C-alpha cells in the first residue's frame, strides 16, 4: 500500500478520455501477528484465549486484549451420529440414545418429528438439460407414482435468450486503462438485439498542476502541510497524520492602544500609525470619518423654561459660531390652545344620558381658535327588559326563547337573535330513582342461595339425556324467552350443536312433519349462528310451490313459522312468502282464538321475538308461561326469582347514574336539550342486561347521554360559528380547548372529557388502555358528521339520498355506540375486534341503517316543523319527485334488507365472537322497540314510560279501550307500515266487528324499573320470593308484587 493510488501514471493518449481518479491512502501497517495463530492449538477449550502469548516485540505497540472464556466442555456426542441412520424418517429424533455418562450433564431434549417422506425426485433433475432455455420448467415430466402425492406446479417461463457475449470478455485485456468502456465492440450479430449503450463523457482536462506542489515551498508558510515531522520510531506503526497550518502572523499592534488616548475625538481612526515593518504584510485599512461637530447646545436647556408653550421650538437661538456648521432646522408648530374645559366636567353630571356630548357649550373666546367638533351619538335606549327575567318562569320549556315579546318601539333598532327550540318536555322521572340507592342492593343471602339451588336444578334438566329433541327444544325456548339463558350459555350451545350435527328429524319421526317443531328448531339454530337451510320448509309446500293452505288451522305452528321467518337472509324467498302468509292468516284468526292464545298472537304480531328486548319480553312471557298448563314449575320459580334479583341490581345502577346526572345539572345549564338519563339507561340495558357487564353498561350509558346533549346542541341551539368552535375543541380533545367555547357549551365539554378520563383509568387498571383510543376516534367521527349536517341546515341545502346516507348513518350514533360498547366487555374483546368494528363491517352498517331510517320515518314531520336538517324522507322525495307514501314503502324495504344482512352476519363462520355481534344486533333491536310507531325516546311520556313503570302508556290504554279490529291489526302486525304491507301483498279479508267483540284485550305491560312504592308491598314481595308456598307461582300475586 506504499504506492499511493493517485500516483499511478496515466498514458497521455487517454488523458482526454478519462479524468485522473485520485483516491486517499491510509498506509495501514501489515498484520503484526503473521502465522502465529496457525500453530497454536486449543486443548479442550481449557486454554483461555486471553492467555495467548504476545510477542515481546509488539507488547509496547498494542495493548494486551483480554477476553472472557466460558470454558465450555467438548461435545458429549463424539462421532455417535455418524453411524446412526434414519429409516424413512421413521426414527424420531427424540428417541436417539444418550450415553449414560452424560445424562446428568444435559437434560434430555425432546423435539417434534414431522416424519416427512424423502424426496420423490431422486436424481431426476441431474440428467435433464436445458437447451438454450427453450425447455419451459413447467414441462418437466413428473413420475406417475408421485402425481397423486404432489399437485403439478406450474411456473411461468420467460424464455430469455442466452448471453450474447459468450467468452468475449475472458480474453480481452485492458492495457493501462487505454480501452474506454464505452468503446467495447459489440458483435454485429447482436446489434439488432441489444441497442448500443452510450454513456456520456465530460472529457475533463487533466490537472494543470502536475507535480508542481510536490517540490514548491511556501515562503511565510514555510511549513509545507505534508512536511510535518513524524518521529522515525512510529512511522511504521501509525500512518502519518497531516493537519493544515495557516501560519498566521502575530498581532501587529502589540500594546499600542493601551497608551494612545483620543483627544476629543479629533484623532481620526484611519490616522492610527501602522508600524513600517507590517505595512508590506497588511494593506492599510481605510475607514470613513464624518467629523461630526460636538453638541452646539451645551447646557442651554437646563435653564431655559417654556412659558405656556408660547416659545416656538424653531425660535431657539443658535450660537453664531455654529451657524456655518449646521444649517438651521425649521420645524412646524401648530400652536395648539390649552384645554378649554378646565375642571368643567368634574362637576357636570349626566342625567340618563340625555345630554348629547356634542351639545356641550364651548367658550366664546375659543370658537375662533378651534372649529366645533361634532361627534355622532347613537342614543342607545336603556334595557327594555328591566327585571322581566327575574320573575319569569319556564313551564315545561313551553316558552320558546325566541318567543319573548320585544317592545314595538325597539324592533327596528335591535335585530332579533333567533335560536331554534324543539320544546322538549322535561324529564318525567324527577328524583324518583335516587330513592333506590338505600335499599336496591339489600338482597337477602338466603335469596341468593335459593337462586343457586334452583339454577342447579334447571341445569340438570337441561343436560339430562332425552330421546325426544322436540322436548329439549321447547325447554331451551322457554329458558331463552324467560330471560335466564345467560346462566346456561355453554349447556345450550352443546345441546343445539348436537341437534344440528345429528339432524333430529332422523330420530324423531313425529317431528318430521310438525310445522311448530321444524320452525322452532330452525329459529333456535339460526339464533345460535348455525347456518341451517331454509329448505327444511319445502316439505310444507303444495304441488304449485305455495305453502299448503291446510296449515292455516294450525295456529301454534303458524305462529312458530312467523317467528322463524324473521331470521331470514337475502335470497330466501320461501321465508319471505312464509312471513306474508303467516301475517295474513294469523290476523284473520285472532277473533276466533282463546283469550290466552289471542293475547300471544297479538303481542307477537306487534313485537316478534327476534326483534324484541329480552328483559321486556321476559316480563310479558312470565304471564303467558304461567298460564300454560305444561309449564315447568322449577323453571318458572327460578325465572321469577332471577328476574327480581336482577331488577334490584339494575335499579341500583340507575340510581347511581341518576345521581351523576343530577350533579351535572344539565337540566338548568342546558334547558334546550333533552333530559333523558333514564331513557338512556333503558337503551343501554337493551344492549346488555347481564350482571357481568355492569362496568360496560355504566360507561356506555354516560357516553350516550352526553351524545344526546351534543346532538341537541348541533340540531337545536348552536349557531354555525359556535358549532365550528365546538367541533374544533372535540378534535383537539384537551381541557385547554374549553376556553374558546361559549359558556353554555363548557359544561358539556368538561363532562365529556371527564367521562373518557374515567374510562381511561378503568382500562389502565385492566391493562387495556388501547381501547380508549378507538372510543375517542368514534366520538370525533360522530361530531364531525353532526357538524356536516348543521352546515346543510344553515345553508338550506337538501342533499341527494346518496350524499345524505353516509353522513346520516354516522349521526345515528350506532357506529360510535358499537365501538364504545366493546370497551368495558372484558377479555372476550381483543385489539383485533376493535380493528374489525372500526372497519365499518356490514353488520354495523346494517344496524345503522335500521336506526337512521326508522328514526326518520317516524320523526320527519315533527322535525321539519321545528326546523331540522332534511331527513331521508325529504331527500328521497325531492330527488325522485316521489310522494311520501312511495318513499315510506322504499325506506321500509331498506330496513327489511338491513335486518337480513344482520341475520347473515351472525351465521357461522363469524369474524368475531358471538357476544360481540350480539351487542350490534341488540342496538338494532332497541331501535325497533323505540321507533316502531313514534320517537319514543324524544317523546318518552307515552310508550316508553309504559315500558318502565306500571302506569299504562297512552298507546296501551287506547289499545285496551277499543275492540280488536282489522285496522288495528294492520298497524301492529309487522314492522312495516300499512302502505308498505299493501305494496307487499294484496289486502285480505278480516274478521267482523261482531266477532271481534268477544275478544278480551291483552294485559298491560309489566313494570321493570319502577317497583312497588309502598314498603308493605315491598315486604310482601320479599316474603313471597323467600317462601316456598304455592303463592310463589300465583300469577295475580306476582303481578301485584311487581
- Grid coordinates representing 863 are 322535525
Give pLDDT, residue 964: 33
Given a cut of 90, is residue 597 above it in pLDDT?
yes
Whether residue 114 has pLDDT greater than 60: yes
Question: Given its phi and psi angles, is residue 571 left (phi above 0), alpha (psi -120 to 50 degrees) or beta?
Answer: left
pLDDT score, position 388: 59
Is pLDDT at 1018 greater than 60 in this prediction?
no
In this predicted structure, the answer to whether residue 52 has a pLDDT above a threshold of 60 is no
Q: In angstroms, what CA-CA distances link 770 with 283, 417, 755, 911, 917? A: 73, 45, 16, 21, 21
pLDDT surpasses 70 at 315: no
| Alpha carbons 253 and 275: distance in angstroms, whole number | 8
CA distance linking residue 976 with residue 983, whole number of Å: 10
Q: pLDDT band at residue 314, thresholds of 50, 70 and 90? A: very low
SS3 202: coil
160-164, 482-486, 510-514, 953-957: least confidently modelled range: 953-957
* Confidence band for 510, pLDDT divided at 50, 70 and 90: low
What whole-number distance in Å separates Cα of residue 797 and Cα of residue 787? Answer: 14
**For residue 1005, is pLDDT > 70?**
no
pLDDT value at residue 296: 81
pLDDT, average across residues 38-60: 48
DSSP label of 75: P
Is the pLDDT reported for residue 872 higher than 90? yes
Residue with cell 494543470: 208
| Band (348; pLDDT cuts 50, 70, 90) | very low
What's the pLDDT band for 286 if we cut at 50, 70, 90?
low
Does 48 sit behind a cis peptide bond, omega within 30 degrees of 0 on the bond before it? no
pLDDT, residue 260, reads: 45
Domain-wise residue ranges, the chain: 1-141, 320-408, 441-637, 665-947
For residues 833-850, average pLDDT? 98
Given a contact cutoff of 8 angstroms between Cβ atoms, the answer to whether 631 and 477 are in contact is: no
Widest distance between CA atoms in the chain = 139
Residue 403 vs residue 794, higher pLDDT: 794
Give the integer Cα–Cα distance in Å for 109 and 90: 18
Instruction: Report pLDDT digits (tens) over 567-587.
Output: 999 999 999 999 999 999 999
Question: Please, which residues have CB within 8 angstroms of residue 144's CB and are 6 or more apart in sequence?
Answer: none
pLDDT tier, 422 (very low <50, low <70, confident <90, very high otherwise): confident
| 714 pLDDT above the threshold of 60 | yes
CA distance 362 to 368: 11
User: Is pLDDT above 70 for 224?
Assistant: no
pLDDT bucket at 881, cuts 50 / 70 / 90: very high
Round the average pLDDT of the chain to a whole number and report it: 74
Domains 441-637 and 665-947 share a fold: no
Confidence class of residue 49 from pLDDT cuts 50, 70 and 90? very low
Look at residue 798 and tell me whether its pLDDT is greater than 70.
Answer: yes
- Please check whether residue 650 is in contact with residue 613, taking contact to mean a CB–CB distance below 8 angstroms: no
| Predicted confidence band of residue 152 (pLDDT cuts 50, 70, 90) | low
Whole-number Å distance between alpha carbons of 256 and 249: 17
Q: What are phi and psi of 547, to 5 degrees?
A: -65, 135
Q: Which of 133-147, 241-255, 475-489 has the highest mean pLDDT?
A: 475-489
Nearest-angstrom CA–CA distance, 409 and 45: 110
The 3-state secondary structure of 304-328, one letter per residue: CCCCCCCCCHHHCCCCHHHHCCCCC
Range 38-47 average pLDDT: 46
* Per-residue pLDDT at 684 exceeds 90: yes
pLDDT of residue 767: 96
pTM, 2 dp:
0.58
Residue 117's pLDDT is what?
75
CA distance 163 to 178: 26
Contact indicator for 658, 1010 with CB cutoff of 8 Å: no
Q: Which residue do the cell numbers 408421485 mark? A: 146
Q: What is the mean pLDDT of residues 148-168?
A: 67
- C-alpha–C-alpha distance, residues 518 and 532, integer Å: 11
**What is the C-alpha to C-alpha distance for residues 899 and 200, in angstroms, rounded to an integer?**
70
pLDDT tens by residue, 905-963: 999 999 999 999 999 999 999 999 999 989 999 999 888 888 887 433 334 433 433 33
Collapsing DSSP states into helix, strand and coil, what is residue 547?
strand
Mean pLDDT of 476-503: 94
pLDDT tens digit string along 270-279?
444 555 654 5
pLDDT of residue 1020: 41
What is the per-residue pLDDT for 394?
Answer: 39
Q: How do residues 317-338 score in pLDDT, each as one tens digit?
A: 555 654 555 556 567 777 887 8
Which band of pLDDT confidence, cut at 50, 70 and 90, is reported for residue 660?
very high
CATH topology of domain 441-637: Glycosyltransferase (1.50.10)
Confidence at residue 137, expressed as pLDDT on a 0 to 100 scale:
38
H, E, C per residue of 654-722: HHHHHHHHHHHCHHHHCCCCCCCHHHHHHHHHHHCCCHHHHHHHHHHHHHHHHHHHHHHHHHHHCCHHH
Amino acid 120: pLDDT: 80
* Assigned C-alpha cell, 1040: 301485584
Quote the cell numbers at residue 924: 338494532
pLDDT of residue 390: 58
pLDDT in tens, 760-793: 999 999 999 999 999 999 999 999 999 999 999 9
179 pLDDT higher than 70: no
Query: What is the structure's pLDDT at 418?
Result: 73
pLDDT band at 740 (very low <50, low <70, confident <90, very high): very high
pLDDT of residue 103: 54
| Bridge partners for 547 per DSSP | 541
What gap in Å lies between CA 814 and CA 825, rounded to an integer?
Answer: 17
The answer, yes or no, to whether residue 729 has pLDDT greater than 70, is: yes
Give residue 148's region: left, alpha or beta (phi > 0; psi -120 to 50): alpha
DSSP state of 881: T
Buried b (16+ CB within 10 A) or exposed e, 917-949: bebbbbbbbbbbbbbbebbbbbbbebbbbbbbb
* Rounded-to-integer distance, Cα 433 and Cα 655, Å: 5
Task: Name the pLDDT band for 895 (thresholds 50, 70, 90).
Answer: very high
pLDDT confidence tier of residue 891, bands split at 50, 70 and 90: very high
pLDDT at residue 840 tops 50: yes
Q: What integer is the mean pLDDT of 630-640?
A: 96
Residue 839's pLDDT band (cuts 50, 70, 90): very high
What are the helix (H) ranges across 407-542? Answer: 445-463, 469-481, 489-502, 515-527
User: What per-residue confidence (pLDDT) applies to 343?
Assistant: 77
Contact in structure between 626 and 1006 (CB atoms under 8 Å): no
Q: Which of 231-240, 334-343, 659-668, 968-977 has the lowest mean pLDDT?
A: 968-977
Q: 3-state class of 419 per DSSP? A: coil
Residue 491 has a pLDDT of 95
* Cα–Cα distance, 515 to 519 (Å, whole number): 6
Distances (CA, A) of 390 to 385, 387, 393, 394, 416: 10, 5, 8, 11, 21
The span from the CA of 825 to the CA of 694, in Å, is 9
The residues, any chain, with a CB within 8 Å of residue 244's CB and separated by 6 or more, are 225
Taking a C-beta distance cutoff of 8 angstroms, is the pair 651, 949 a contact? no
Nearest alpha-carbon partner for 991 in 591, 605, 599: 591
**Between 967 and 106, where is the model more confident?**
106
Specify the pLDDT at position 165.
73
* Residue recorded with cell 475472458: 170
- What pLDDT was estimated at residue 915? 97
Place domain 665-947 in its CATH homologous superfamily.
Answer: Farnesyl Diphosphate Synthase (1.10.600.10)
pLDDT of residue 1034: 37
Measured between alpha carbons, how far is 153 from 978 in angstroms, rounded to an integer?
62
Interhelix angle for 633-664 vs 445-463, to 10°?
130
Lowest mean pLDDT among 165-174, 348-357, 423-432: 348-357
Amino acid at each position: 500500500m506504499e504506492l499511493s493510488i493517485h500516483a499511478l501514471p496515466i498514458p497521455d493518449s487517454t488523458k482526454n478520455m478519462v479524468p485522473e481518479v485520485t483516491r486517499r491512502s491510509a498506509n495501514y501497517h501489515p498484520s503484526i501477528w503473521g502465522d502465529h495463530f496457525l500453530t497454536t492449538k486449543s486443548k479442550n477449550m481449557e486454554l483461555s484465549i486471553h492467555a495467548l502469548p504476545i510477542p515481546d516485540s509488539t507488547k509496547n505497540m498494542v495493548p494486551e486484549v483480554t477476553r472472557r472464556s466460558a470454558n465450555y466442555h467438548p461435545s458429549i456426542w463424539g462421532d455417535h451420529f455418524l453411524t446412526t441412520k434414519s429409516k424413512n424418517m421413521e426414527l424420531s429424533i427424540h428417541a436417539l440414545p444418550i450415553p449414560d455418562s452424560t445424562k446428568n450433564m444435559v437434560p434430555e431434549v425432546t423435539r417434534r418429528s414431522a416424519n416427512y417422506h424423502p424426496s420423490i425426485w431422486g436424481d431426476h433433475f441431474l440428467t435433464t438439460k436445458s437447451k438454450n432455455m427453450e425447455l419451459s420448467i413447467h414441462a418437466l415430466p413428473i413420475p406417475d407414482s408421485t402425481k397423486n402425492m404432489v399437485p403439478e406446479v406450474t411456473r411461468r417461463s420467460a424464455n430469455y435468450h442466452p448471453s450474447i457475449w459468450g467468452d468475449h470478455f475472458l480474453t480481452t485485456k485492458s492495457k493501462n486503462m487505454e480501452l474506454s468502456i464505452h468503446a467495447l465492440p459489440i458483435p454485429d450479430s447482436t446489434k439488432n438485439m441489444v441497442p448500443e449503450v452510450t454513456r456520456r463523457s465530460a472529457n475533463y482536462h487533466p490537472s494543470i498542476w502536475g507535480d508542481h506542489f510536490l517540490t514548491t515551498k511556501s515562503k511565510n508558510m514555510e511549513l509545507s502541510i505534508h512536511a510535518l515531522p513524524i518521529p522515525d520510531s512510529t512511522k511504521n506503526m501509525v500512518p502519518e497524520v497531516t493537519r493544515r497550518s495557516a501560519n498566521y502572523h502575530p498581532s501587529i499592534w502589540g500594546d499600542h492602544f493601551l497608551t494612545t488616548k483620543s483627544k476629543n475625538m479629533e484623532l481620526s481612526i484611519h490616522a492610527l500609525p501602522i508600524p513600517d515593518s507590517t505595512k508590506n504584510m497588511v494593506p492599510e485599512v481605510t475607514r470613513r470619518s464624518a467629523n461630526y461637530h460636538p453638541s452646539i447646545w451645551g447646557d442651554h436647556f437646563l435653564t431655559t423654561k417654556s412659558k405656556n408653550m408660547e416659545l416656538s421650538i424653531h425660535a431657539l437661538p443658535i450660537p453664531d459660531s455654529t451657524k456655518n456648521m449646521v444649517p438651521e432646522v425649521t420645524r412646524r408648530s401648530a400652536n395648539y390652545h390649552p384645554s378649554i374645559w378646565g375642571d368643567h366636567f368634574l362637576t357636570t353630571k349626566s342625567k340618563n344620558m340625555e345630554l348629547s356630548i356634542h351639545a356641550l357649550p364651548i367658550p366664546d373666546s375659543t370658537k375662533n381658535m378651534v372649529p366645533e367638533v361634532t361627534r355622532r351619538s347613537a342614543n342607545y335606549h336603556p334595557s327594555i327588559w328591566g327585571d322581566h327575567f327575574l320573575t319569569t318562569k319556564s313551564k315545561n320549556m313551553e316558552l320558546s326563547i325566541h318567543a319573548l315579546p320585544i317592545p314595538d318601539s325597539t324592533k327596528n333598532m335591535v335585530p332579533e337573535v333567533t335560536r331554534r327550540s324543539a320544546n322538549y318536555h322535561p324529564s318525567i322521572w324527577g328524583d324518583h330513582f335516587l330513592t333506590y340507592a338505600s335499599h336496591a342492593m339489600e338482597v337477602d343471602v338466603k335469596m341468593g342461595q335459593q337462586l343457586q339451588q334452583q339454577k342447579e336444578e334447571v341445569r340438570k334438566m337441561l343436560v339430562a339425556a332425552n330421546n325426544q329433541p322436540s322436548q329439549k327444544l321447547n325447554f331451551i325456548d322457554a329458558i331463552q324467552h324467560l330471560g335466564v339463558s345467560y346462566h346456561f350459555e355453554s349447556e345450550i350451545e352443546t345441546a343445539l350443536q348436537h341437534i344440528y350435527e345429528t339432524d333430529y328429524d332422523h330420530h324423531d319421526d313425529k317431528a318430521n312433519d310438525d310445522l311448530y317443531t321444524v320452525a322452532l328448531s330452525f329459529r333456535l339454530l339460526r339464533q345460535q349462528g348455525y347456518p341451517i337451510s331454509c329448505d327444511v320448509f319445502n316439505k310444507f309446500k303444495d304441488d304449485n310451490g305455495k305453502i299448503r293452505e291446510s296449515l292455516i288451522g294450525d295456529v301454534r305452528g303458524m305462529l312458530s313459522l312467523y317467528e322463524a321467518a324473521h331470521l331470514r337472509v337475502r335470497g330466501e324467498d320461501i321465508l319471505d312468502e312464509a312471513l306474508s302468509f303467516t301475517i295474513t292468516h294469523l290476523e284473520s284468526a285472532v277473533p276466533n282464538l282463546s283469550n290466552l292464545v289471542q293475547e300471544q298472537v297479538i303481542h307477537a304480531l306487534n313485537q316478534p321475538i327476534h326483534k324484541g328486548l329480552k328483559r321486556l319480553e321476559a316480563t310479558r312471557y312470565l304471564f303467558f308461561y304461567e298460564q300454560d298448563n305444561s309449564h315447568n314449575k322449577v323453571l318458572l320459580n327460578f325465572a321469577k326469582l332471577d328476574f327480581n334479583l336482577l331488577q334490584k341490581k339494575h335499579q341500583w345502577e340507575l340510581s347511581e347514574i341518576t345521581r351523576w346526572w343530577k350533579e351535572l345539572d344539565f337540566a338548568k345549564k342546558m334547558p334546550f336539550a333533552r333530559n333523558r338519563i333514564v331513557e338512556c339507561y333503558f337503551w343501554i340495558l337493551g344492549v346488555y342486561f347481564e350482571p357481568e357487564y355492569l362496568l360496560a353498561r355504566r360507561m356506555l350509558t354516560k357516553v350516550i347521554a352526553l351524545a344526546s346533549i351534543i346532538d341537541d346542541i348541533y340540531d337545536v341551539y348552536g349557531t354555525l360559528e359556535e358549532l365550528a368552535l365546538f367541533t374544533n375543541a372535540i378534535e383537539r380533545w384537551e381541557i385547554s380547548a374549553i376556553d374558546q367555547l361559549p359558556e353554555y357549551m363548557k359544561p358539556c365539554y368538561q363532562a365529556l372529557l371527564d367521562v373518557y378520563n374515567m374510562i381511561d383509568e378503568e382500562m389502565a387498571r385492566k391493562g387495556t388502555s388501547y381501547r380508549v383510543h378507538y372510543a375517542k376516534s368514534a366520538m370525533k367521527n360522530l361530531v364531525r358528521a353532526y357538524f356536516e349536517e348543521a352546515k346543510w341546515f344553515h345553508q338550506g341545502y337538501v342533499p341527494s339520498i346518496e350524499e345524505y346516507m353516509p353522513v346520516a348513518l354516522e349521526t345515528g350514533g350506532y357506529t360510535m355506540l358499537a365501538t364504545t360498547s366493546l370497551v368495558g366487555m372484558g377479555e372476550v374483546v381483543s385489539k383485533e375486534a376493535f380493528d374489525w368494528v372500526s372497519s365499518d363491517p356490514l353488520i354495523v352498517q346494517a344496524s345503522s341503517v335500521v336506526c337512521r331510517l326508522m328514526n326518520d320515518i317516524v320523526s320527519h314531520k315533527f322535525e321539519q316543523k321545528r326546523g331540522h336538517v332534511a331527513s331521508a324522507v325529504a331527500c328521497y322525495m325531492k330527488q325522485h319527485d316521489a310522494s311520501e307514501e312511495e318513499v315510506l314503502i322504499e325506506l321500509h324495504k331498506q330496513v327489511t334488507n338491513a335486518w337480513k344482512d344482520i341475520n347473515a352476519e351472525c351465521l357461522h363462520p363469524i369474524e368475531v365472537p358471538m357476544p360481540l355481534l350480539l351487542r350490534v344486533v341488540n342496538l338494532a333491536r332497541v331501535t325497533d322497540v323505540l321507533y316502531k310507531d313514534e320517537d319514543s325516546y324524544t317523546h318518552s311520556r307515552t310508550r316508553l314510560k309504559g315500558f318502565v313503570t306500571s302506569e299504562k302508556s297512552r298507546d296501551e290504554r287506547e289499545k285496551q279501550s277499543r275492540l280488536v279490529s282489522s285496522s288495528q291489526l294492520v298497524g301492529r302486525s309487522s314492522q312495516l307500515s300499512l302502505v308498505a304491507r299493501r305494496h307487499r301483498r294484496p289486502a285480505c279479508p278480516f274478521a267482523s266487528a261482531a266477532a271481534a267483540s268477544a275478544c278480551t284485550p291483552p294485559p298491560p305491560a309489566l313494570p321493570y324499573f319502577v317497583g312497588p312504592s309502598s314498603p308493605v308491598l315491598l315486604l310482601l314481595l320479599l316474603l313471597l320470593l323467600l317462601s316456598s308456598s304455592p303463592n310463589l307461582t300465583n300469577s295475580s300475586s306476582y303481578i301485584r308484587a311487581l
